[in-house]
Amino acid sequence: MTDDKPLSFTVADLKTPKLRRCTFDVDTIDWRRARLLGAGLDGCVWRVFFGDRGPYALKLFWDAGVTYDISWYWAAQRECQNAALLQMLRASLDWEGQGGQRVQGVQGVQGAQAVQAVQAAQGKKGEEGEEGDQGDQGDQGEQGEQGEQGEQNKQENLPGTVLVHANPQTLEDALSNLMAFSLEAKQRNQTNETSQSVPPSQVQHQVQSQTSEVIRLGRDSMPRFAQCHGWLRVDGIALVRRMPLGVFPAVQVVDKHKRYVQDLQEFKDWKVQVGLADAADELELHYAIVYEYVESGGMDRERARVRHSKTWQGQQQAKAKAEAEAKEALAVGVETRNQRAQREALAARQKEQKEKQRQERLKEDQQQEHDRVAAVARFLHLVGISFCPQSLECNWKNGVLIDHSDIISPRSYGWAQMWYRIRSVEKLLAE
């Protein structure tokens, strides 16, 4: 994990992804406005504001460092590497889609850094002012062959397309598809125009119907992922002591494992005991990572409503609502039999109409969420990334993957060929 390396997507970068340091100051968090979103095996997540900026999602990892006494992945390392890898894939596709120009918008910073990094890798000097000319040359195709030698050199240096195996099955296929996003692979494929760019909604059909074993991926082939703003180093104990009780993270018990913010002194004492540190060494700090805050969708609110209705508090609220409706009916006063029947029939029709509208909205939201999750699953499979054996619905929000430790790259610990397949939406959203 680095805080000064410009974003690039060479083979070396893809082999060892490194996430940038976040520029936000953790001391500016207004904990009165914070909200605890959840906690699990790896850490806990809050919705926070850094001063007047936000909201963001702040994830604090339980462990301050690698615990070598168990065979397990280091959550902070996996999540930071996955976030960096997704940024490089996005930068690679954006660069290809813009013909060598920087990309503005959500990925503007990443696109600008990718421009600088690729120019440095190619040994270009003094061409920053000619980026617009380069973009025009990329649109002109092979006209550079008829131009001057300088224009030919510029067009030859433009990165090419991303070509991947249409139906990867093995570790070799996964690694090959991942490295297809590298600058070196794009340069080798820059003259290949036989394949067609595939949007995420059509990748499944393209994989099944493609006669060739290779397909082309363009800018629209990558679905939305939660944007990562980088990593932080914090004293987790000091951080949670500043929090109000309403957002204080409780001890989590996951598969009989107790998870809580690791005491830094206890962790150092353990490392000294096993010979991994010296008594004079400074205390290690916890890692945290900052993401964009993804708003809840219609299906997220419906799942929350169903979960709440099953709790004691939800049942009491439903009971109180029924009693209030009964009292309101008594307060109407004396009615004739026909008046009461008409009022009850009208109320029943209104209730039925509202329920019908709600079901229609839920059906539409469910289809949209299904399409977004399916697009993520298809894209990750094409780039060689697999999901963990047991993916949970809480790792998604509004069809966006918000827990990047739920995926494993082919060069990371825990990747297994038996789990490398396109996972169904129903399994990815299992409770």
Distance CA 55, CA 51 (A): 10
Distance CA 80, CA 138 (A): 34
Q: Provide the residue type at 60 as one letter.
A: L
**The pair of three-digit structure tokens given for residue 99, joined into one six-digit string:** 């013909």
Query: In the chain, which residues have pLDDT < 70?
Result: 1-6, 67-71, 96-160, 190-212, 263-265, 270, 276-277, 280-282, 298-310, 312-314, 326, 328-337, 431
What's the pTM value of the predicted model, to 2 decimals? 0.71
Least Cα distance to 376 among 359, 394, 353, 399 occurs for: 399
C-beta separation of 362 from 295 below 8 A: no
Strands (E), 162-312: 162-165, 214-217, 228-234, 252-254, 257-259, 286-292
Question: What are the residues facing 166 on neighbouring strands?
Answer: none
Residue 289 burial by Cβ neighbours in a 10 Å radius (0-12, 13-18, 19+): buried
Kindly report, residue by residue over 51-92, the tens digit of the pLDDT: 999 899 999 998 887 765 556 788 899 999 999 999 999 999
Distance CA 303, CA 318 (A): 17
Query: What does the chain come to in residues?
Result: 431
Least Cα distance to 54 among 71, 76, 32 occurs for: 32
Q: Residues 372, 388, 236, CA angle at the centre, nearest 5°?
A: 95
Distance CA 238, CA 232 (A): 14
What backbone torsions phi and psi does residue 247 show, to the nearest 5 degrees?
A: -120, 10
Least Cα distance to 260 among 243, 248, 269 occurs for: 248
pLDDT recorded at residue 254? 75
Angle formed by the axes of helices 149-157 and 131-139, to 10°? 80
pLDDT recorded at residue 73? 83
